[in-house]
Amino acid sequence: MVGQGVLRECLLDPDVEAVLTVGRSATGQRHEKLREIVHADLFDLSPIEDRLAGYDACFFCLGVSSAGMSEADYRHLTYDLTLAAARTLAARNPAMTFVYVSGAGTDATGRSMWARVKGETEKALLALPFKAAFMFRPGGILPVHGERSRTRLYRIVYAIMGPLHPVWKALIPNAITTSERLGKAMLAVAKRGAPKPILETRDINAIA
């Protein structure tokens, strides 16, 4: 869902010359500045790495829910997958800005399994030789342009929360963002940077 929102903002932004998506399936979108690579094994980008050079930014939006998963499986699909892609990109694009979508509550020393794994992933990404790296930690994300989560439970929650967006915005403005604001903020830090590498919902909304 986050990737759909960010892709929309990239295609709309006149400063963006070209967009390359990499995933296990096609986006279903058509646009003159969009190119797509459908690649089955995202743990190994070596067969396509020559096609990944020359880009200014990577918006890494892949992620899974930790619900019902063992720590080993969640770590494999979170830490291992993200670092496999990031290391390949850092080697090919040292001038790249890498933006990772993490989550509110992330803490490498925390007791929660998902928060600890996400925190360790953030720490490893910040140590890679990118031009810059930013960790986005959004809380609630409301889809506003038809984006859909692949997780059924999340779709139900968004359907309930969506009509109440003005209420949530008034009551907890620093805990809620939208797919549009998230995409705009990611583009903004790719262009101009940010004063700190870890950005919470309050920061994301301010930058957007």
**Which of the four pLDDT bands, split at 50, 70 and 90, describes residue 174?**
low
Amino acid 65: pLDDT: 86
pLDDT at residue 171 greater than cutoff 90: no
- The model's pTM: 0.87
Q: What is the mean pLDDT of the chain?
A: 89
pLDDT tens digits, one per residue of 117-148 = 999 999 999 999 999 999 999 988 887 756 56
What's the N-to-C CA distance of the chain in angstroms?
18
Name the residue ranges covered by the structural domains of the chain.
Answer: 2-207
pLDDT tens digits, one per residue of 41-58 = 999 999 999 999 999 999
Domain 2-207 fold: Rossmann fold (3.40.50)
Task: Tell me the CA distances in angstroms from 169 to 76, 86, 161, 204, one per residue in order.
Answer: 35, 34, 11, 14
